[in-house]
């Protein structure tokens, strides 16, 4: 009986199978790079170009006017003056009062809107009564009123020393009515602006409180925590991020408050209620010094950017570390 004898296939090391060629993948791109000028770029380019023109043209004109002597009363004198307009604006008698009033206005409105916004939002979230939705709408509605309209309402219906609501209340108690816009101009404007921006804080904070985990609150109540302890240790830390958003957004807008001052006090008496925005207006449209007003506008832009950078870094760092 014959058996099939397989051939001896044992190979020596020198006769081993050849290795597969090693392909250098480092030189080849792992994925295709996007084209620099694709169809999407052409679709976006018109809006980008329009945005750049919308921003760069006014800024370039402001920079140009700030380095020349450009007064509308003397149209023929447009000599180059360098940084002279900046020097005159910084040494103007209204600059320091305007800067101080701007800081007081921004700080006071932020304090009032954040504190009252947190308290009102917490009360609305804790209370359960009929018509709570109507109350929420009424609390938010002042934010949608135009600044000029709200300033006129406060000036003629509330602050008026003869026919205003506050004057009627003062007379009812036998006191002498106060001319608020003349005796306390900056405080009056702070109240008006706070009334406008408090609904924004309430809207953001109420929305944030609805995402608070109710199981944590129930567990805290079972452990014997009271309403104040729950608010301090659960609600307030939960509102840290919304409060930061409110502070950043309101600061940017409050640095340019103008309509309320123009409508009520016109910056007076003297410089008692003048901020940087109104000071720039007086230089441009009351004294017709466009060059000096342009320098003031650039200074205001620098101050606003510094404030924004500080707020974003400080608050953003805290939020990143917290969350």
Please compute the mean of the pLDDT values over residues 32-40 and round it to a whole number: 61
**Measured between alpha carbons, how far is 193 from 256 in angstroms, rounded to an integer?**
12
The overall average pLDDT reported for the chain is 83
- What pLDDT does residue 313 have? 79
Structure confidence by residue, pLDDT tens digits, 47-74? 888 888 888 888 899 999 999 998 888 8
| CB < 8 Å & 24+ apart, contacts of 145-148 | 145/196, 146/259, 147/196, 147/259, 147/260, 147/263, 148/259, 148/263
**Measured between alpha carbons, how far is 105 from 117 in angstroms, rounded to an integer?**
17
| Residue 143: both structure tokens together | 């934010």
Is there a contact between 90 and 223 (Cβ–Cβ < 8 Å)?
no
Instruction: Read off the pLDDT band of 12 (50, 70, 90).
Output: very low
Compute how many other C-beta atoms are within 10 angstroms of the C-beta atom of residue 277.
19
Structure confidence by residue, pLDDT tens digits, 273-291? 999 999 999 998 888 999 9
> What separation, in Å, do the N-terminal and C-terminal C-alpha atoms of the chain show?
84
Provide the 3-class DSSP secondary structure of residue 298.
Answer: helix
**Measured between alpha carbons, how far is 305 from 310 in angstroms, rounded to an integer?**
9
Three-class DSSP labels, 165-186: HHHHHHHHCCCCCCCHHHHCHH
Entry field: residues in the chain: 323
Structure confidence by residue, pLDDT tens digits, 134-171? 888 888 888 889 999 999 999 999 999 998 999 999 99
**Measured between alpha carbons, how far is 279 from 289 in angstroms, rounded to an integer?**
12
pTM of the model: 0.79
- What pLDDT does residue 10 have? 45
**Measured between alpha carbons, how far is 239 from 139 in angstroms, rounded to an integer?**
19
Instruction: Read off the pLDDT band of 320 (50, 70, 90).
Output: low
Of residues 99 and 24, more confidence is placed in 99
Structure confidence by residue, pLDDT tens digits, 163-222? 899 999 999 998 899 999 999 999 999 999 999 999 999 999 988 888 877 778 778 888
- What pLDDT does residue 2 have? 46
Instruction: Read off the pLDDT band of 40 (50, 70, 90).
Output: confident
Question: Which of 22, 245, 229 lies closest to 114 in space, CA to CA?
Answer: 245
Beta bridge partners of 68: 80
**Measured between alpha carbons, how far is 163 from 165 in angstroms, rounded to an integer?**
7
How far from chain centre, in Å, is Cα 113? 13
At residue 24, does pLDDT exceed 70?
no
| Residue 182: both structure tokens together | 């003349």
At residue 109, does pLDDT exceed 90?
yes
Provide the 3-class DSSP secondary structure of residue 80.
Answer: strand
Structure confidence by residue, pLDDT tens digits, 255-276? 989 999 999 999 989 899 999 9
At residue 8, does pLDDT exceed 50?
no
DSSP 8-state code for residue 289 = B
State residue 28 phi and psi, 5-degree precision. -95, 140
């Amino acid at each position: 009986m014959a058996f099939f004898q397989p051939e001896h296939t044992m190979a020596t090391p020198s006769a081993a199978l050849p290795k597969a060629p090693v392909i250098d993948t480092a030189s080849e791109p792992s994925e295709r790079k996007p084209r620099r000028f694709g169809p999407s770029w052409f679709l976006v380019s018109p809006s980008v170009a329009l945005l750049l023109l919308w921003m760069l043209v006014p800024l370039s004109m402001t920079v140009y006017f700030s380095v020349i002597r450009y007064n509308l009363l003397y149209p023929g004198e447009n000599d180059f003056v360098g940084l002279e307009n900046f020097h005159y604006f910084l040494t103007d008698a209204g600059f320091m009062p305007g800067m101080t009033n701007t800081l007081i206005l921004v700080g006071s409105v932020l304090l009032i809107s954040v504190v009252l916004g947190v308290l009102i939002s917490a009360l609305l979230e804790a209370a359960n009564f009929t018509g709570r939705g109507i109350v929420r709408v009424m609390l938010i509605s002042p934010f949608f009123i135009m600044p000029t309209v709200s300033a006129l309402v406060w000036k003629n219906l509330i602050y008026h020393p003869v026919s205003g609501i506050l004057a009627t209340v003062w007379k009812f108690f036998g006191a002498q009515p106060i001319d608020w816009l003349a005796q306390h101009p900056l405080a009056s404007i702070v109240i008006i602006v706070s009334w406008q921006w408090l609904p924004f804080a309430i809207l953001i904070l109420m929305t944030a409180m609805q995402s608070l985990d109710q199981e944590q609150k129930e567990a805290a109540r079972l452990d014997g925590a009271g309403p104040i302890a729950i608010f301090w240790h659960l609600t307030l830390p939960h509102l840290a991020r919304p409060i930061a958003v409110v502070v950043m957004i309101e600061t940017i807008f409050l640095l340019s408050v103008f309509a309320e001052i123009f409508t009520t006090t016109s910056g007076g008496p003297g410089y008692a209620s003048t901020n940087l925005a109104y000071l720039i207006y007086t230089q441009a449209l009351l004294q017709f010094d466009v060059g000096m007003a342009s320098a003031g506008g650039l200074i205001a832009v620098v101050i606003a950017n510094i404030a924004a950078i500080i707020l974003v870094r400080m608050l953003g760092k805290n939020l990143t570390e917290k969350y």
